[in-house]
Amino acid sequence: MNKVIKLHLHDRYPELGKGPVPVEPYISAPYFDKEQAKIFKKTWLHVGRVEEIPKAGDYFVKDLEACEASIIVVRDKAGCINAMHNVCSHRMNQIVYEKRGQARKFFCKFHGWAYDLEGKLTGVPEEESFFDLDKCDHGLTRVACDVWQGFIFINLDPNPALSLAEFMQPMFRDIEGYPFDKITTGFQWSTVVNCNWKLALDAFQEAYHVAYVHGRSIADAIDTAADGAMPPLDALCGEFHRRLSIAGNPKSVYGNPNAVTAGGAAAQQAIADSATAKPIAAAALRAGLGSATHQFRKEDLPKGMNWTGHDNWLFDINVVFPDFYLSLRPNYFQAYNFRPLSQGKTLLEARVYYPEMKTAGGRFYLEYMKVALRDVLLEDLSTLERTQSAVQTGVKKEMLLQDFELLVRHGAHVVDRIVNEETKA
Amino acid sequence: MSTHQNPPTLPPRFAALQTYIHWSLATETERTRMRNTSQMAEIVAFKDAMLVEVDAIVDYLNGFPLDAMPPQEAALMHMLLSLAEVAPAVEAYRQPGVIDGYAFERFKADETFVMRPPI
């Protein structure tokens, strides 16, 4: 067990204050309009991973209500990834109807206009009947697109205030080199939750709720202090982004994910401790040992991971502004987007990625870990609509945050700064 | 697959588990629905039957490639994945569904996600 830790995280960030935080931004339609204009149409948004479109012509389409846009993301013949609006230059039909696929060119199904994988207009049926048409002037409208550590980001602003590297690196440079490219088995779920996007994200930005919301499931996977609390190891706040580091209980299968790839004493202890109370968990870990296609040693991770150097470190939460939750563990990671559809509606796209497993036993272990995580998400989601309804009653104007909820405060602060000032994200 | 007309058969070594063949479901969506619409006693009976054989099942299935499992072995593999599906029901909630949880039907697994494993 940890000693009782009094971190006073807030003392490092006096500009955030310690007072109550207003809830008006969670229910105000005019506030949401400003978020759309000043944040979602102006900043870098995560849309997927490079492994989803490995070959030239592979593409997917992202509908981004928060930006009032539909974006085609495609790999071209040179291997570059391009993003463009899904709007034909002729009479504005959507070029692509499918969610993902493979194309040599994109043909508009309305009048057959053709575009190449860079968005250039290459073919116009009955071209001679148009008036002074120069195809060079009428390609698909491109949006900014760049890749950080295999994550594809787009920015609707054609001239972003910051490059993607400038946006990411002040907070995340020292986690570059995390083995994303070895963690290539993915699962995805989606749901539309009737709540504000910030309210949804907030539920994932602190561990104060774990003992209660997750009391029956994975609370035993988190390291617990002598007084029963689950304080974070540390928290970091930047100009836009934020991070939280959490310790696990290495005696539990779920709290010691590297047991499956490291094996040895760590695995034997987790199996022994789970054998009676959680025999399926123990069986899954036994089955998974030795199946992963790669080794994942904690000492090989970039220095920004587990930045406090804690022996029982379990994972770091990374919140990439505005709505991307990226939780990195020793050998698997979660990537969630809390993307607004409107002021009170949020599309959650939740993805989890594991190393590829060579055997049936390894696949069984992955299914155990995935199902446990999915059920934890069902627990997390259970409060959101209830909270949104309660906020909308208007009886409470402010929320009270404790020291370990620093990331919730920081999130509210950054959004409010951008919405109410003339700074650009 | 979950065609009721022609339930899959299991490898002869595991024929005793044929009673539970309705847990042989190819997708997470089907497995989750099965768990959430079953009685706890049915879940526990399935779990008990699988758990005594689980190491033997894993040893046996490890001899087949994940991306080219013959039909009987795939049927058994899908039962193994159902065992993982019911783990939280048995080991965390003591009831089929997540206690106070978000409706499972609303949290949709994308069975076509390009990075999913072959089985």
What number of other Cβ atoms are within 10 A of residue B41's Cβ? 8
pLDDT at A226: 72
**Average pLDDT, rounded, for chain B:** 95
What would the mean pLDDT of A48-71 be, rounded to a whole number? 97
pLDDT(A201) > 60:
yes
pLDDT at B50: 98
**Average pLDDT, rounded, for chain A:** 94
pLDDT at A250: 85
User: How many residues are present in chain A?
Assistant: 425
What number of other Cβ atoms are within 10 A of residue B12's Cβ? 7
A51 contacts in chain B (CB < 8 Å): 115
Could you identify the residue written with the tokens 């994308």? Answer: B110
pLDDT at A273: 87
pLDDT(A4) > 60:
no
Cα–Cα dist B70/B48, whole Å? 26
| Residue A78: both structure tokens together | 């040179």
In three-state secondary structure terms, A109 is coil
pLDDT at A1: 46
What number of other Cβ atoms are within 10 A of residue B79's Cβ? 24
Q: Is the dihedral of CA B75, B80, B83, B88 positive or negative?
A: negative
Return the amino acid letter for A234. D
pLDDT(B91) > 60:
yes
Q: Is A303 on the interface with B (CB under 8 A)?
A: no
In three-state secondary structure terms, A81 is strand
pLDDT(B24) > 80:
yes
pTM for the predicted model, two decimal places? 0.95
Least confident of A294-308, B9-23, B61-75: A294-308
Whether A280 sits inside 8 A of B99 (CB atoms) is no
Nearest to B58 among A279, A364, A382 (CB): A364
Q: Which residue of A has its CA nearest to B60?
A: A360
| Residue A71: both structure tokens together | 């974006």
How confident is the model over B32-73, as pLDDT tens digits?
Answer: 999 999 999 999 999 999 999 999 999 999 999 999 999 999
Q: Which residue of B has its CA nearest to A360?
A: B62
| Residue B52: both structure tokens together | 């005594």
